[in-house]
Amino acid sequence: MLTKRIIPCLDVTLDSEGGTVVKGVEFFNLRHAGDPVEFAKLYNEQGADEIVFLDITASHEGRATMIDVIERTADEVFIPLTVGGGVGSVEDVRQILRAGADKVSINTSAVKNPNLIKETSDIFGSQCIVTAIDCKRNTNVADNSDKTILTLEDGTPAWYEVVIYGGRKPTGVDAVQWAKKVVELGSGEIMLTSMDRDGTYDGFDVPVTRAVSESVEVPIIASGGAGNPQHMYEGFTSGKADAALAASIFHFGEYTVPGVKEYLKNHELPIRI
């Protein structure tokens, strides 16, 4: 079994200082957490397996990703760095990789122009291209027989709808079917975020995480809702994810990366300590 990865996520917005880490609930009501470069240094020292840096308002604000902040962050970390937010072209991907990122996450632009995944993976390699899928539960199944209908924890049937622009716009696209398509186009990894669970501390959205994990053969990063190490264990076991992403529990000091890893190792999961 491949080693499971623990990935702190830096959700960053542009401010007068250049960039600040924030965290909200269901993508909204953001509260400030601190400087992205300092967080990156801390998580690198704590033994995180990777770091994800997301410029979460770039697409909504119609601007490019903060290259200078990425450069400063990349200078401080010696583990893989994935960067996303406002990525809309081959040139955007090139600039982010040149700034020091190892992988680039594409979200809104991929939904609007799926061929961007193929173009970028052909040029830079599929290992560099992560498709971020933000999705939200939709219990209107009567008129959506063409969707992948899953059973929620309480027995309710639902499908998961892809949302873009930081959760501001529903697309009508089925998340499980979209995951299959992006892999066919060349995406080497999927970062799957349940908007319903984001920032809630209620645990990962297991039904959709498991469905996507079982539908494709690339690594799946579970995202949205981690409140404790047990939730990460469930994401790996019940959700069948390859990596677990978390923000709030690390940023606000509730748990540390080494503490989470020790818990998972004690529960017999393959973890790099």
Distances in Å between the alpha carbon of 107 and those of 54, 112, 192, 256, 259? 11, 9, 10, 28, 31
The first and second tokens of residue 107, run together, are 């979200």
Where do the DSSP E strands lie in the chain?
A: 5-13, 20-25, 28-34, 51-55, 81-84, 103-106, 129-138, 150-151, 157-164, 169-174, 189-194, 220-223, 243-246
Q: Is 205 noted as a catalytic residue in this protein?
A: no
Backbone angles phi, psi at 169, to 5 degrees: -135, 115
Catalytic residue, chosen from 11, 55, 92, 174, is: 11
Answer whether 220's CB lies under 8 Å from 213's CB. yes
DSSP 202: S
| Amino acid present at 119 | E
Catalytic residue, chosen from 35, 92, 134, 205, is: 134
Q: Is 134 noted as a catalytic residue in this protein?
A: yes
Catalytic positions, written as ranges:
11, 134
